[in-house]
Amino acid sequence: MVVVDELGGTYEEGFEDVHRNLMNYFTLKACRTVLTQLYEMNPPSYRWFYNFVASNNPQDGKYFLRALGKERQELAERVMITRLHLYGKWIKKCDHAMMYQKISDENLELMRERLMETVIWPSDDTNTNTEKIG
């Protein structure tokens, strides 16, 4: 399990890992976009690329693109151009305040959920969660 290997060390200081994660994610997103385009325009290439993506992990972006370049350089270039293009589009839409709010909202939602599960409701005489004294 990859996650476990990465648990050591102090991570508070920097955000280099966040940037690496974003680059890898945009590489994956670019692969999806190229796949969608190939599906419509070039079914044989779609099948080839689909299998390649399935057997090589695009979430390690650089490694993936290097491997792809050795087999189909034109596809590697297309994914590279697409990831840069997608990132450029995202810059314009990225709203940090909205994202901050979303994380805050999800935190509250989870706390509320947990509260509802643990709260002891006042007794009632119907079916669920009934408490009776004596």
Helix axes 16-41, 61-71, angle to 10 degrees: 40
**Smallest gap, in angstroms, from Cβ of residue 48 to a copy of itself?**
14
Could you tell me which residues come within 8 angstroms of residue 124 by beta carbon, excluding any fewer than 6 positions away?
130
Instruction: Tell me whether residue 49 is exposed, middle or buried, using C-beta atoms within 10 angstroms of its C-beta: 0 to 12, 13 to 18, 19 or more.
Output: buried
Complex with a copy of itself: residue 42 or 73, whichever CB lies closer: 73
When binding is defined by CB under 8 A, the residue of 43, 52, 66, 119 that contacts a copy of itself is 66
First to last CA, the chain: 52
Side-chain-facing half-sphere of 127: CA atoms under 13 Å = 0
42 touching a copy of itself, by CB under 8 A:
no
41 touching a copy of itself, by CB under 8 A:
no
Longest CA pairwise span in the chain (Å): 78
Sites of contact with a copy of itself (CB under 8 A): 1, 3-4, 6-7, 9-12, 15, 17-19, 21-23, 25-26, 28-29, 31-33, 35-36, 50, 53-54, 57-59, 61-62, 65-66, 69-70, 73, 76-77, 80-81, 83-84, 86-91, 93-94, 96, 99-100, 102-104, 106-107, 110-111, 113-114, 117-118
